[in-house]
Amino acid sequence: HVQLVESGGGSVQAGGSLRLSCAASESTYSRNYMAWFRQAPGKEREGVASIYVSSGTIYYADAVKGRFTISQDNAKNTVYLEMNSLKPEDTAMYYCAASTARRLSTALVPYAYHYWGQGTQVTVSS
């Protein structure tokens, strides 16, 4: 059972930056994909970015391409989300997730992920 702990959320003005971290309790053995999702009040949870742990292949949602960067440090069992040029519409609770699936046809859907962190709030003011 993988435990995920997010950190790094906070409040920032539009155009600012934040870096989220997600520490996993286990090594890469039981988590083939790692991803960041977000959920704003009254909206569905949506995928932001995902990384295939073994190869480093990355997927981004169109809304964040060019502004967000997902990365990993396997020695620390940690995944990061660097968020730049933040917009008010990026305001949401951000969740880290892990999938044990060997291959996903779609890497940014919540139902593909088996383990979730508790979330960290990101608030962007205009």
Identity of the residue numbered 4: L
Nearest Cα to 125, choosing from 2, 3, 15, 13?
13
- Measure the CA–CA gap between 126 and 111, rounded to whole angstroms: 32
The reported pLDDT for the residue numbered 92 is 98
The reported pLDDT for the residue numbered 28 is 64
Ranges in the chain, pLDDT < 70: 28-29
What secondary structure letter does DSSP report for 56?
Answer: -
The reported pLDDT for the residue numbered 1 is 78
The reported pLDDT for the residue numbered 29 is 63
The reported pLDDT for the residue numbered 105 is 87
The reported pLDDT for the residue numbered 84 is 98
pLDDT, tens digit, for every residue of 81-95?
999 999 999 999 999
The reported pLDDT for the residue numbered 31 is 85
- Measure the CA–CA gap between 97 and 93, rounded to whole angstroms: 13
